[in-house]
Amino acid sequence: MHISRSLVGALLLVSLGLACLQPAWAADDALPSWQDGAAKQAIVDFVAHVTTRGGPAFVPESERIATFDNDGTLWAEQPMYIQMAFVLDRVKALAPQHPKWRDQQPFKAVLEGDLKALAASGEKGMIDLGMATHAGMTTQEFEQIVKDWLATAKHPRFNRPYTECVYQPMVELLAYLRANGFKTYIVSGGGIEFMRPWTEQVYGIPPEQVVGSTIKTTFEMRDGTPVLMRLPEIDFIDDKAGKPVGINKFIGRRPILAFGNSDGDHQMLQWTAAGSGPRFMGLVHHTDAEREWAYDRISSIGRLDEALDEALTKGWTVVDMKQDWKIIFPPSSRH
Amino acid sequence: MHISRSLVGALLLVSLGLACLQPAWAADDALPSWQDGAAKQAIVDFVAHVTTRGGPAFVPESERIATFDNDGTLWAEQPMYIQMAFVLDRVKALAPQHPKWRDQQPFKAVLEGDLKALAASGEKGMIDLGMATHAGMTTQEFEQIVKDWLATAKHPRFNRPYTECVYQPMVELLAYLRANGFKTYIVSGGGIEFMRPWTEQVYGIPPEQVVGSTIKTTFEMRDGTPVLMRLPEIDFIDDKAGKPVGINKFIGRRPILAFGNSDGDHQMLQWTAAGSGPRFMGLVHHTDAEREWAYDRISSIGRLDEALDEALTKGWTVVDMKQDWKIIFPPSSRH
Please check whether residue B212 is in contact with residue B195, taking contact to mean a CB–CB distance below 8 angstroms.
Answer: yes
Using a CB–CB cutoff of 8 Å, tell me whether A196 touches chain B: yes
B248 and A228 within 8 Å at the Cβ level: the answer is: yes
Of A117-121, A176-180, A211-215, B269-273, which gets the smallest average pLDDT?
A117-121
pLDDT of A28: 53
Terminal C-alpha separation, chain B = 69
Using a CB–CB cutoff of 8 Å, tell me whether A218 touches chain B: yes
B271 and A219 within 8 Å at the Cβ level: the answer is: yes
**CA-CA distance, A214 to A194, in Å (whole number)?**
10
Chain B residues lying within 8 Å of A270, measured CB to CB: 226
Angle B106-B108-B111 (CA atoms, 0-180°, nearest 5)?
Answer: 115
B245-273 pLDDT, tens digit each: 999 999 999 999 999 999 999 999 999 99
Of A2-11, A102-111, A157-166, which gets the smallest average pLDDT?
A2-11
Q: What is the average pLDDT score of chain B?
A: 92
Number of A–B residue contacts, CB under 8 Å: 83
CA proximity to A333, closest of A104, A212, A168: A168
CB-CB: which of A192, A226, A274 is closest to B270? A226
Decide if pLDDT at B277 tops 80.
yes
Which DSSP state fits A135? Answer: S
**Looking at CA atoms only, how far is residue A318 from chain B in angstroms?**
22
Decide if pLDDT at B4 tops 80.
no
**CA-CA distance, B257 to B280, in Å (whole number)?**
5
pLDDT of B115: 87
List the single residue in A with minimal CA-CA distance to B139. Answer: A248
Burial class (CB in 10 A: 0-12, 13-18, 19+), B278: middle
ipTM for this model: 0.91
**pLDDT over 70 for what percent of chain A?**
91
A62 and B200 within 8 Å at the Cβ level: the answer is: yes
**Looking at CA atoms only, how far is residue B51 from chain A in angstroms?**
20
What are the backbone angles phi and psi of residue B197, rounded to the nearest 5°?
-65, -15
pLDDT of A115: 87
Q: What is the average pLDDT score of chain A?
A: 92
List the single residue in B with minimal CA-CA distance to A61. Answer: B206
Using a CB–CB cutoff of 8 Å, tell me whether B251 touches chain A: yes
pLDDT of A5: 46
**Looking at CA atoms only, how far is residue B225 from chain A in angstroms?**
7
What are the backbone angles phi and psi of residue B144, rounded to the nearest 5°?
-70, -40
pLDDT of A334: 57
Of A13-27, B107-121, B149-163, which gets the smallest average pLDDT?
A13-27
Q: Which of the pair, B334 or A184, is modelled with greater confidence? A: A184
Q: Which amino acid is at A246?
A: G
**pLDDT over 90 for what percent of chain A?**
89
The continuous run of DSSP H or E covering B215 comes out as strand B210-222
- Residue of B208, B215, B233 best to disrupt the A interface, most CBs of A under 10 A: B208
Neighbour count for residue A177 (Cβ, 10 Å): 22
pLDDT (mean) for B186-191: 98
Q: Residues near B259 by Cβ (< 8 Å), separated by ≥ 6?
A: B66, B67, B68, B69, B73, B170, B173, B265, B281, B282, B283, B284
pLDDT of B24: 42
Decide if pLDDT at B122 tops 50.
yes
pLDDT of B28: 53
Residues in chain A: 335
Angle B74-B75-B79 (CA atoms, 0-180°, nearest 5)?
Answer: 140
pLDDT (mean) for B37-45: 97
Burial A217-252 (b: 16+ CB within 10 A, else e): bebeeeeeebbbbbeeeeebebbbbbbbbbbbbbbb
Decide if pLDDT at A330 tops 50.
yes
**Looking at CA atoms only, how far is residue B228 from chain A in angstroms?**
7
B57-88 pLDDT, tens digit each: 999 999 999 999 999 999 999 999 999 999 99
pLDDT of B29: 78
A253 and B208 within 8 Å at the Cβ level: the answer is: yes
Chain A residues lying within 8 Å of B192, measured CB to CB: 249, 252
Helices (H), chain B: 2-30, 38-51, 82-94, 107-112, 115-120, 122-134, 139-152, 168-179, 192-195, 199-203, 242-246, 266-273, 306-314, 321-324
pLDDT of A8: 45
What are the backbone angles phi and psi of residue B34, rounded to the nearest 5°?
-95, 130
**CA-CA distance, B268 to B263, in Å (whole number)?**
10
B189-203 pLDDT, tens digit each: 999 999 999 999 999
A251 and B206 within 8 Å at the Cβ level: the answer is: no
pLDDT of B20: 41
Please check whether residue A112 is in contact with residue A92, taking contact to mean a CB–CB distance below 8 angstroms.
Answer: no
List the single residue in A with minimal CA-CA distance to B199. Answer: A252
Residue A269's alpha-carbon distances to A69, A263, B94, B229, B330, in angstroms, are 10, 10, 35, 18, 42
**pLDDT over 70 for what percent of chain B?**
91
